[in-house]
Structure 1
Amino acid sequence: MTSEPLSFPRQYARTQRFTLGAPRTFRVSPDGERVIFLRSRSGTDRANLLWVLDLATGAERVVADPSQLLAGGTERLSPAERARRERLREGGAGIVGYATDDAAELAAFTLSGRLFVAEPRTGAVRELAVPGPVIDPRPSPDGRHVAYVSDGALRVVRVAADDGTGEGPDDRALAAPEAATVTYGLAEFIAAEEMERSRGFWWAPGSDRLLVARADDAPVRRWWITDPAHPDRAPEQIAYPLAGSPNAEVRLFALGLDGSRTEVVHDRERYPYLARVHWSAAGPPLLLVQARDQRSQVYLAVDPDSGSTRMVHAEDAEPWLDLFPGVPCWTPDGRLVRITDEGGARVLAVGDRPLTGAQLHVRAVLDVSADDVLVSASAGAEAADPETGEVHVYRVGELGVERLSQEPGVHGATRTGEVTVLISAVPHTPGARTRVWRDDKPVAEVTSYAERPDLTPRVTLTEGGTRRIPCAVLLPSGHPVDGEPLPVLLDPYGGPHAARVHAAHNAYLTSQWYADQGFAVVIADGRGTPHRSPGWEKAIHQDLTVTLDDQIDALQGLAGRFPLDLSRVAIRGWSYGGYLAALAVLRRPDVFHAAVAGAPVTDWRLYDTHYTERYLGDPAEHPAVYAANSLVTDDGLAAPAAQHRPLMIVHGLADDNVVFGHSLRLSSALLAAGRPHEVLPLSGVTHMAAQEEVAENLLLLQVDFLRRSLGLD
């Protein structure tokens, strides 16, 4: 007896977009002997295990297995841990994160709020009996202690009962919350959601103290998330800093294991955002703090004994300054490493010198050594070859720039010493390949258990429109480029923080599935999307509607080269893409004939401070800007009935990022304007929509709606 093969929507949902079973979260031991990583046992297993690759033998072995450590029990997450995973967009289970000491001899992680430590070299694992639920445990650099957060307190526990100091094990709070609104050691909502700062404490290189963020969200507005499908359950209260309203108050303390407590002092009134913290043996603790309007920021060196700070570097720019992964940090000889916009390019600067120019658009710093800086970058505005959708790994030094990744694709890396782990996704091969290099020679490859999709994207990477917008075009399998025109589906994100045009196979699986339902699918990364040039990203200042202009420009520019039927054009998107989809049918019904808007931001006054104010400013100072970019105040709502276009609004009731109120307000405005539309509420679903049945059926329901709306059935 054989079972029927899974449909693509079910396979896509069950494998969490074909990410399950793929290795992730790599750490190379400084001695160059081991690579530690996470991976589940198969392409449909959500539970990650902790693994180690022995570089001498090439053998992989399990270090920690959640099913054994929990004795087969069900994993239980605290509300704080669920919220943290939502901010990280973490849909996995089991060991979803870990941290090691400097020597990578000790790894700490949580399961069901319990604290475990493992020795990757020996495979020994044990639980430390501490108050729970435990969040974000991190060993000290010397491996003697583990710091963690529990019930808002920053606690420290000794790892060994007798480590030669003559002291027994202890577990104690270095800082406990003074009120229910206070936490120590956790990133506040706005830092985790918008600044990509998911941590709230940092060990000193000497392992004798920590820098710890204290966040008090008492000033923050309170919202209530409820699920009407369960009227017996009380609403969940969340602190949400909507645009123009107060943020959490964030302070930083140096806490010693000896009980000392020193507040780090800087001008928090002028620079309220604690955006980055770095502490290494190469220099004093380093902070990056931003002004509320994000037009100025300063890099501060901290004296942890006195709490005083001194300015290392200051930046001012219009209309805003961006934050980047991996910086700021110090070089081993104490020079500041940062990424900055200079001369119309995004460059790497070390000390007072830019080391890259307009040929590269630097995206992140991956590692810093005495000889070079390892970065990821895409082609810059002046590159001879635009390399549409490609991301490469480069070594940057005083003598020049060297590209490490060679084949076209999207590449990333982790490096310690002479060992580099290179992760590569390429256009013609499913998933990603993980290779380990030593001294520029391949020595091992980490196995992936991810499933292979049953379809192969037929994608053309190109540019479209007068602005040469990066685009991907997908046609149904077997449909000739010079064949009959097809109904068009635009499938963008189209806004800040996320590009969708990638030179990678799996990036287009869903889009190809839509194409095989009879559409020509177009993905366009217009102005506002990252990784092309600073000017490209910042062209949306106070006018998000230019992102819609670029979708139209790309569509019309591609029409002469691909079989696109411009009389039948639909658009779908999620989050910012949902906003863009709704904007399309409301403002340009002459171009767009149907839309699916998933979790759309419909009124920017209801979205968070750091994101929204960066692009639109303070709503009290710029009310007309907010009105012009809103969907619920759009004059297009009053368009003649002949121009009303079908619109499906999809939204999770449990979404605490773009709350369901956005879609309710849009629906109410549409109803008041006499505009027909459909609303699909998803009970218990957050912004991720990760549940298997939901993810599968969302694809099926959307394609059914689009086919009906365009008259294809």
Structure 2
Amino acid sequence: MKRRFLLIQLLCLLLLADHLFAQKKITLSDIFERGTFRAQSVAGVNWMNDGKFYSAQEGNDIVKYDVTTGQKVATIVSGADLAPAIDFIAYEFSADEKQILFMTSFESIYRRSFKANYYVYDLATKQLKQLSKGGKQSYATFSPDGSKVAFCRDNNLFFVDLQSNKETQITTDGKWNFIINGSADWVYEEEFSFAKAFFWSPDGQKIAFYTFDESKVKEYNMQMWKNGKLYPEDYKFKYPKAGEANSEITISIYDLKSEKSVKVDIGTEKDIYIPRIKWTNDSNVLAVLRMNRLQNKMEILHTDAGTGATKAILTEESPQYLEADFFDDVVYLKDGKHFIYSSEKDGFKHLYLYELTGKLVRQITTGKWEVVNFLGIDEKPKVPVLYYTSTEISPLERHFYSIDIQGKNKKKLSTEKGTNTPNLSRDFKYYMLYHSNAQSPLRITLWETSKNTLIKELKNNSHLLEKYKEYGISTKEFFQFKTPDGTELNGYMLKPSNFDASRKYPVLMFVYGGPGSQQVADNWSAVSWFNLLNQEGYIVACVDNRGTGFRGADFKKVTYANLGKYEVQDQIDAAKYLGSLPYIDKDRIGIYGHSYGGYMSTLCLLLGADVFKAAIAGAPVTNWRYYDTIYTERYLKRPQDNPDGYDQYSPVYHASKLKGAYLIMHGTGDDNVHFQNAVALQEALIRSGKQFQSFYYPDRNHGIGGNNATMHRHQLMTDFILKNL
């Protein structure tokens, strides 16, 4: 009897222990709604002119912090206390920090474009006034002296004199789907990454601006169903597909004193791109970046702002393509004689010093690694110092460095393994460092730059370590393998917390794989749908194929003119490698991706039918002829130049090869990768007699989110994986 009683007690203790120490189950609501695993950060930091302070938006307040202590010292202004009271979502100080420009009533248009209402607040007089009552504006921006604000409205460019409150209209010919002044057209916004297309000169007396003539660009038509409407609405916008006509670009410079504009001489060839313009430190000289249609020739033009005459001072060419956003690294020095320029002409992205005439002085950084971000140059020391992040330690890591302009005295300022992202003060005296790695969550610290000494820890998310343990959440395990041709690829795995090497696990591979991208990096991963799959007994794996970034130009550009060829082969080889591991079931390998990743997952299933059992594709490109000019032609040339490059690896031409389970999801309101892509592939699959699963999301854009779509989509994918993998 006593023995039986002891056994019962032991059983009760075991049941109690199981109850106490059982891992909690992750839910989609935890991931997407409740913020159960959300990391704390320091966001919206605006360094002030006195490098000892920075401001940040907290709710409806602008709060001032002392950098040396990290403590809040004042509330600069509260939106609720203004007259009238406002709820603002963003703010900007004038250069002298005497005025604040508030943005309210934000209304998104595309990825970067928007319109809103703006208010100007004078800190001395405590007066708040609406910038304009003529309708919502876009991209309102103070002039350098704070006396004026320029903005766009209804495809035209305006400015307001804040002293007189007089509004001046600079352009008058703006018209929807025909002429755009001061704002980017759709394809420039998406692929050259800017929406505001006007720029104040340093002295505030001129405004340089783009004009896009869209009249020859063909329209794309989307039906918007708008729940509750009796009839759907047609939404038509100009979208240049590969090989078709682009907008014709004009660059103009408006002089506020003469109230006249001059056009910049960008040459007689109209079929070109102007991906960037930038004022030098001289208000009489505007720098213009000109690229040919194929984006393999780039020229920097220096423009006389009075006449519009230009002179090419630097030309770079590539047998594949050039990156327009490298021009963001161009910094004109205060000596008026030099500028910094970045290029991957030696095979890796590095920084160079040039004379203003375009003569090369020296290469500043060098090595078989890449400068990721050029953060700025401190010109106060006798020998100016540059700050940047790079992949010098590993392509998977990011570290913070300084180096002088002579290419000497390089210093590694970050000390912790993983991903280090600095935010430097304007005077370079301080920086905030955002650090994480695969095992350590985001930690934010404040540093003094010259001695590289720690001042204060601002945020520490160590509580997430306990939270991850509580839910049995795995962190990334990195691996490398060689493909049959000897190429070494980087990958990571997320394993179930109760991983047992003697078992055979199904695998879902996650892929993006597009040119210059990176998914495999030594940083902290927020809890995601992948961790939910871990709890269901799946391993999740990710591999960066050839064509991805941060391993040099040759590795990245090998996919030129043949998108899909090497990337897909690498993913197939990765699946075969995973299948060779003793703890992976080679007959239960699936793949998932979105956008370019959806293109990849689809093509992997079609071309790797004997390797992949299932695939999920979100908003995939299925025929590169349907995608836009700038992105597609950069990597494939025009369809008329390279038809095989378009057709050989477009999924619609391989539909008959489908064997496994396939789920395709797309938003009908996707202005980027059009729903047309899903329709074309589904038609090809139907004609081939192939069964598959599809789901469309009414009026949702490329991200397929909003109004419960994110939760719905991930539940759909979960059910598909549990059933088919």
Give the TM-score band, short-chain normalised. Answer: 0.7 to 0.9
- Residue 198 of structure 1 pairs with residue 195 of structure 2: yes
Inter-partner Cα distance in structure 1 for 2:82 and 2:617: 42
Inter-partner Cα distance in structure 1 for 2:152 and 2:460: 33
- Rate the CA distance shift 1:537–1:685 in 2: closer, same or farther, 3 A: same
Query: Which residue of the other structure, out of 59, 66, 71, is the alignment partner of 1:59?
Result: 71
SS of residue paired to 1:632: helix
Alignment-derived partner of residue 133 in structure 1: 136
Query: Which residue of the other structure, out of 336, 339, 355, is the alignment partner of 1:336?
Result: 339
- Rate the CA distance shift 1:16–1:272 in 2: closer, same or farther, 3 A: farther
TM-superposed CA distance for 1:486, in Å, is 0.6
TM-superposed CA distance for 1:435, in Å, is 3.1
Contact 2:560 2:635 in 1 (8 A): yes
SS of residue paired to 2:199: strand
Inter-partner Cα distance in structure 1 for 2:79 and 2:26: 30
- Residue 396 of structure 1 pairs with residue 398 of structure 2: no
Q: For 1:56-109, what per-residue CA distance to the aligned partner results, in whole angstroms no more than 9, with x for missing partners?
A: 663346556667779899x9xxxxxxxxxxxxxxxxxx52x5544334444424
Q: TM-score, normalised by structure 1?
A: 0.86
Contact 2:191 2:630 in 1 (8 A): yes
- Runs of 5+ consecutive residues of structure 1 not aligned to the other structure: 42-47, 76-93, 162-167, 380-384
Alignment-derived partner of residue 659 in structure 1: 674
1:577-616 to 2 correspondences below 5 Å:
577-616=597-636
Which structure is larger by alpha-carbon Rg, 1 or 2?
2
- Rate the CA distance shift 1:70–1:19 in 2: closer, same or farther, 3 A: farther
1:642-657 to 2 correspondences below 5 Å:
644-657=659-672
- Rate the CA distance shift 1:306–1:583 in 2: closer, same or farther, 3 A: same
- Runs of 5+ consecutive residues of structure 2 not aligned to the other structure: 1-23, 106-115, 355-359
Q: For 1:142-186, what per-residue CA distance to the aligned partner results, in whole angstroms no more than 9, with x for missing partners?
A: 111111111122111123x3xxxxxx3312212233443212211
- Residue 523 of structure 1 pairs with residue 542 of structure 2: yes
Alignment-derived partner of residue 46 in structure 2: 27
Inter-partner Cα distance in structure 2 for 1:451 and 1:153: 50
- Rate the CA distance shift 1:197–1:143 in 2: closer, same or farther, 3 A: same
- Rate the CA distance shift 1:321–1:266 in 2: closer, same or farther, 3 A: same
TM-superposed CA distance for 1:125, in Å, is 5.7
Code of the residue aligned with 1:658 in structure 2: it is V
Q: For 1:208-250, what per-residue CA distance to the aligned partner results, in whole angstroms no more than 9, with x for missing partners?
A: 1111111122121101111356562311111111100111122
Alignment-derived partner of residue 289 in structure 1: 290
Alignment-derived partner of residue 251 in structure 2: 252
TM-superposed CA distance for 1:562, in Å, is 6.7
Inter-partner Cα distance in structure 2 for 1:261 and 1:319: 37
RMSD: 3.0
Contact 1:389 1:501 in 2 (8 A): yes
Alignment-derived partner of residue 421 in structure 2: 412
Which is worse superposed, 416-425 or 443-452? 443-452
SS of residue paired to 2:718: helix
Q: TM-score, normalised by structure 2?
A: 0.84
Q: For 1:475-528, what per-residue CA distance to the aligned partner results, in whole angstroms no more than 9, with x for missing partners?
A: 011214x23121011011111243111211135633323222211111111111
Contact 2:372 2:391 in 1 (8 A): yes
Alignment-derived partner of residue 329 in structure 2: 327
Code of the residue aligned with 1:577 in structure 2: it is G
- Rate the CA distance shift 1:492–1:508 in 2: closer, same or farther, 3 A: farther
* Length, aligned pairs only: 660
Contact 1:12 1:696 in 2 (8 A): no
- Rate the CA distance shift 1:211–1:516 in 2: closer, same or farther, 3 A: same
Inter-partner Cα distance in structure 2 for 1:575 and 1:317: 27
Inter-partner Cα distance in structure 2 for 1:317 and 1:410: 30
Alignment-derived partner of residue 175 in structure 1: 171
1:559-578 to 2 correspondences below 5 Å:
559-560=579-580, 563-578=583-598
Which is worse superposed, 603-612 or 221-230? 221-230
Alignment-derived partner of residue 224 in structure 1: 221
- Rate the CA distance shift 1:115–1:599 in 2: closer, same or farther, 3 A: same
- Residue 236 of structure 1 pairs with residue 245 of structure 2: no
Alignment-derived partner of residue 453 in structure 2: 441
SS of residue paired to 1:235: strand
Query: Which residue of the other structure, out of 365, 383, 397, is the alignment partner of 1:356?
Result: 365
TM-superposed CA distance for 1:27, in Å, is 3.0
Q: For 1:438-471, what per-residue CA distance to the aligned partner results, in whole angstroms no more than 9, with x for missing partners?
A: 5333445555999967654421122223322121
- Rate the CA distance shift 1:559–1:693 in 2: closer, same or farther, 3 A: same
1:262-277 to 2 correspondences below 5 Å:
262-267=262-267, 269=269, 272-277=272-277
TM-superposed CA distance for 1:126, in Å, is 4.9
Inter-partner Cα distance in structure 1 for 2:460 and 2:206: 39
Alignment-derived partner of residue 559 in structure 2: 540
Q: For 1:653-711, what per-residue CA distance to the aligned partner results, in whole angstroms no more than 9, with x for missing partners?
A: 1110001110011111101101101111011211123326211222221121012112x
Contact 1:331 1:369 in 2 (8 A): no
Code of the residue aligned with 2:66 in structure 1: it is D
- Rate the CA distance shift 1:200–1:62 in 2: closer, same or farther, 3 A: farther
TM-superposed CA distance for 1:582, in Å, is 0.7
Inter-partner Cα distance in structure 2 for 1:238 and 1:70: 39
Inter-partner Cα distance in structure 2 for 1:183 and 1:448: 46
Alignment-derived partner of residue 432 in structure 2: 421
Which is worse superposed, 321-330 or 245-254? 321-330
Contact 1:63 1:125 in 2 (8 A): no
Which is worse superposed, 139-148 or 291-300? 139-148
Inter-partner Cα distance in structure 1 for 2:372 and 2:545: 18
SS of residue paired to 1:668: helix
Alignment-derived partner of residue 88 in structure 1: none
- Rate the CA distance shift 1:486–1:302 in 2: closer, same or farther, 3 A: same
Which is worse superposed, 551-560 or 258-267? 551-560
1:599-638 to 2 correspondences below 5 Å:
599-634=619-654, 637-638=655-656
Inter-partner Cα distance in structure 1 for 2:412 and 2:507: 38
Inter-partner Cα distance in structure 2 for 1:316 and 1:67: 54
Inter-partner Cα distance in structure 2 for 1:451 and 1:280: 47
Inter-partner Cα distance in structure 2 for 1:344 and 1:142: 42
- Residue 374 of structure 1 pairs with residue 367 of structure 2: no
- Residue 464 of structure 1 pairs with residue 481 of structure 2: yes
